[in-house]
A = this chain, B = another copy of it.
Amino acid sequence: LSNGLTRTLANFAVQSRFEALPGPVRAHTVNAFLNWLGCVYGGCSEDAISIGCKVVAEEGGPPRASVIGRKLRTDAANAAFLNCISSSIQAFDDAHLPTVTHPSGPAAAALFAISETRPIDGEEFINALALGIELQCRLSNALVLPPSKIKLGFYMTGLTAPMGVAAAVGRLLKLDEQRMIWALGIASSQSAGFRAVHGTMSAHFRPGYAARAGIFAAMLAANGFDCATNALEAPNGFFDTYATDADLRRATARLGEDFEILANAYKPYPCGIVIHPTIDACLDIRQQLGPTTRISTVTLRVNPAALTLTGKRSPQTTLESHVSIYHWAAVALLTGKAGLGETRMDCICDQRISALRSTINAVPEAGLGSGEAIVEVTCEAGEKVTSHIEHARGSIDHPMTDEDLDRKFMIQVGTVLPVEKAAQLLRVARNLATLSHAGEQVAAALGN
């Protein structure tokens, strides 16, 4: 049944069209774009972007695509690289919950850059973005879900985003099936990334690099650069090499009928999504106790992945705070807040917060879901308070509403643009489906 996986996905990509997308998928895809664009603004002033802009300004190609929030235009692949890093670097981007893949950043960044270089209407854009997200998530499902065995160290977005991007960009470039097959193969030849670099700029390099890789793959394939016709499923191919016993049917089952974007979540808090139920529980306890109660002990009972992925006890930098469940528990309990302010150095270095952080006990419990957490707090006066979150805010069972997303967007974009310009950009992005030249019209509203 694995026979022909690459061709099946390529055929799906080539045939994909806006009209075939169910209404909720269209709406989710617009939200994915909107959330991505807001996150780009949120992150575009970070040091990593300044460094990337310096290199790209010296080495990049013709100025056809915008580096959002910076006074720089460059070639599509380099613009996508930087815009994707911006969208990732505050750990505020979306996440596909079954695989903890971040599906929108690479595809949206690539598609936006390409759409600045040629007329792509809003419906084509939405279709391509839905396609990129769909393939990235489905390939991630096959890699990471049982019966597949894969090294925990592999960073899923780095492995599967290149193919999602290649398919999405390839769709805009109107590749035929043969060239789409090659594009997927060239993309998978760039699948890379492991988790040890989390908490550094390089954690965000990898999705950015995946956007570059996918664009480059699609462009080469469009011009006839060939590849094996079965790169994904062949012996010594992508799945055979990166995983063991992967069930490739996960990548194609009910393709075009079920949509993985419906399992994609938007973050209310700027940190690893596996931390979110713990934050909800700590905010709930803070609400119960009020601001003056003194806390004695804190125990977090969480899904084991939360500690594997975000178990940094003492973050030293903003980027390390993204992967410190201890930091967020402490800060939520002590301040009642969990926003961008709580990733800043003054908060990370705050003595009260770091003191509590160092005493928190975290217990992995395999019986708890990835969106679930139980937090137990003992007060100095002896009182015990427990909060059990079954579905974190932002998760599929407790999703961010459109209004939540618009509010998040306005805060993020507002860090760069005046509020009226941010509101205007929000209107354009919300009306993505109606745009006749998506890249040009969104770019005009960027104020770049």
Taking Cβ atoms with an 8 Å cutoff, the residues of A that contact B are: 47-48, 51-52, 54-55, 58-62, 75-77, 151-154, 158, 182, 185-186, 188-197, 199-202, 205-206, 209, 216, 219-220, 223-228, 230-231, 234-238, 240-242
Contact = CB atoms under 8 A, between A and B. Distances in A.
Given A75-B59, A186-B202, A236 B192 contact: no
B47 A196 contact: no
A185 B202 contact: yes
A396 B286 CA distance: 71
B200 A227 contact: yes
Given A52-B220, A192-B191, A197 B240 contact: no
8 contacts: A51-B220, A55-B223, A59-B61, A59-B76, A153-B237, A192-B192, A196-B238, A202-B231
Contacts of A191: 192
Given A61-B60, A151-B240, A236-B194, A224 B47 contact: yes
Contacts of A205: 186, 189, 220, 225, 227
A189 B193 contact: yes
A71 to B, nearest CB: 18
Contact of A51 (B202, B223, B231): B223
A195 B236 contact: yes
Nearest to A195: B236
Given A61-B60, A151-B240, A191-B192, A51 B225 contact: yes
A234 B60 CA distance: 33
Contacts of A54: 223
A228 B319 CA distance: 11
Contacts of A190: 190, 192-193, 209
A437 B76 CA distance: 33
Contacts of A200: 185, 226-228
Contacts of A76: 59
Contacts of A189: 158, 192-194, 197, 202, 205-206, 209
Contacts of A209: 189-190
B240 A196 contact: yes
Contact of A228 (B75, B197, B231, B240): B197
B240 A153 contact: yes
A151 B216 CA distance: 27
Nearest to A154: B241
B201 A225 contact: yes
Contact of A55 (B152, B182, B219): B219
A277 to B, nearest CB: 23
Contacts of A219: 55, 59
Contact of A237 (B182, B186, B196): B196
A221 to B, nearest CB: 9
Nearest to A244: B151
Contacts of A77: 59
Contacts of A194: 188-189, 231, 236-238, 240-242
